[in-house]
Structure 1
């Protein structure tokens, strides 16, 4: 590594998306020596626009991240490294040892903002259309599909509810069933009652140019017409480092945290989509802010006089259950 770093950092932030950069911003404002390690795997980088950010609606993911990184330059205590943390362990006296691209890094605190990875449909043309007229998040991109016909691809019990959410915007919603494990008669009756069309067949390819989608072609050659595609398969929490540290995880593999974004491991905070809750950029930024402030103030130490502010709570604020 070429970063000019102190022997022991105050904080290591893993993940340079909205949550991680927000945490690093506040650690910088508290003048805590901080290293942000970013592998560049932000899930919304394919999106044409990021929506719903107060005062910045819309923007692009690249603009948002670029401005956030540029903003970190005013904080001399914060360094940004493009790379990967392969190992992260707690060692003596609560200190954390990380291996960053083969180099050892030591820190008193850790903020995990490693996010999730989406499973995507395996159909021709997907990557050309992804982020333009193919999306994974109704809340993020449903408004852009207003008054259009939406096609749903996916699997799992959540798919009918996922499709119904698009009714807030779409003129029509169609589910292609081959990828959804099909539906029983009761499910089909509910979908029919909501005006959601069910089409049986195997999705094979997207038809039309990016931004001018015509629909989805089935394996039998039939064209299911639609203006946009939304998909819901699975998303997998990038929790390998959390598992190395022994953080408590929920049933979906996300890191359990308290109101201060503190995990079950002393000194380890988590923010963004790797924690439970709505997976939206504005919320990730807010969680990153909470994690950064809590992490920074946990390093404050003791008050020096009766008139001094109350010192920060201890690093372990987590209550199981």
Structure 2
């Protein structure tokens, strides 16, 4: 089967790309193995008309929208290989089926790794989150913590201060704050903990306290943590797409990567902030880029 576009990933970016291409009368398959990065998320915020929606419900509604366009198919299958071919690209799935596609949109997103802190998985997505714009409102005016082993700890802590004046910045033993930054945070009454975290304690996903290796404890009810990210799939790298130092794809304003016919959307380009509405918009732009390029090719231009 020869497709106009194979979309790898069925999150907001991939689904919105499919919607735009379906409305452009393109033959499209969305490959979705249903393993989203936000699987632990109970509510998604910041998406107008859908604020507070459960991710599974957003997905269901998106599938209903796409079902109106007969040229788009959503397949619950895992792509295991993408390679160049005379038609453009060959996409092979775990079921052993191979598809020919003129273009490919990479929208599989990222996989994240949390800092190695005992108990952190029990709270992630319930009282500890990665994006204050997504979950800061629900934690407003409460004693919060910010955990980051990287250089973004200072900036993230300043952002979280918008929602709460009781903030604890945790380096988890890393050298992630300089003396000037520590002084600036201190002027605002923001505590800084340099000790490694021994454990996070609480019940039913609700954080109650953070325990440090020196035996000290500080009560906290939630906060934000910076994970590290890697591409969820290596197809872009195997196709030769140029990458940023942060591990995302280098793209133009319409999702075009450095490889002709390959586009990237959503978290695959490490879009910050990582919000649903932003990812969906990136998917729309990548779809417009792909449709424009195929149209120009068809006209011999």
Give the TM-score normalised by the residue count of structure 2: 0.91
Range with bigger deviation, 219-228 or 157-166: 219-228
Deviation at 1:239, TM superposition (A): 5.5
User: Aligned residue for 2:284?
Assistant: 289
- The separation in 1 between residues aligned to 2:200 and 2:183, in whole angstroms, is 28
- Segments of structure 1 that go 5 or more residues without pairing to the other structure are 1-6, 304-310, 315-321
CA distance in 2, matches of 1:210, 1:171: 25
Aligned length: 299
- Equivalent position to 1:117, from 111, 120, 132: 111
Structure 1 residue ranges (4+ consecutive) displaced by more than 4 angstroms after TM superposition: none
Q: Tell me the distance in 1 between the aligned counterparts of 2:254 and 2:281.
A: 11
Q: Can you list the C-alpha shifts for 1:257-280, whole angstroms capped at 9, x where unaligned?
A: 112211121111111011254222
In the alignment, which residue of structure 1 is the partner of 2:140?
A: 146
CA contact (8 A) 1:156 1:233 kept: no
Secondary structure class of the residue paired with 1:168: coil
- Measure, in 1, the Cα distance between the counterparts of 2:80 and 2:24: 28
Counterpart residue number, 1:273: 267
The yes-or-no answer on 1:169 pairing with 2:175 is: no
Q: What is the RMSD computed on CA atoms of the aligned residues? A: 2.2
* Cα offset, 1:171, TM superposition: 2.6
- 1:20 CA displacement: 0.3
CA deviations on 1:229-281 (whole Å, 9 max, x unpaired) are 31114222335111111112122121111122111211111110112542221
- Give distance in 2, aligned partners of 1:300 and 1:231: 44
> Retained in 1: the 8 A contact 2:143–2:167?
yes
1:97 equivalent to 2:90? Answer yes
1:186 to 180, 183, 192: 180
Counterparts of 2:173 and 2:33, CA distance in 1: 31
In 2, the alpha carbon distance for the partners of 1:211 and 1:66 equals 26
Q: Work out the CA distance in 1 between the residues paired with 2:254 and 2:176.
A: 42
Counterpart among 6, 14, 23 of residue 8 in structure 2 = 14
Residue in 1 aligned with 2:33?
39
**For the Cα contact (< 8 Å) 2:147–2:225, is it kept in 1?**
yes
The C-alpha deviation readout for 1:123-156, integer Å capped at 9, x for no partner, is 3433332211110112211222211111122211
- How many angstroms apart in 1 are the aligned matches of 2:227 and 2:292? 39
CA contact (8 A) 2:199 2:211 kept: yes
Aligned to 1:80: 74
Counterpart Cα distance in 2 of 1:185 and 1:18: 41
1:184 Cα offset (Å):
4.4
Q: Quick one: distance in 2 between partners of 1:253 and 1:188?
A: 29
Structure label with greater radius of gyration: 1
Equivalent position to 1:65, from 52, 59, 66: 59
Give, in whole Å, the separation in 2 of the partners of 1:14 and 1:302.
22
Q: Partners in 2 of 1:264 and 1:172 — Cα distance?
A: 45
Tell me if the contact between 2:247 and 2:270 (Cα under 8 Å) persists in the aligned partners: no
Look up the SS of the partner of 1:31 in the other structure.
coil
Maintained 8 Å contact 1:123/1:206: yes
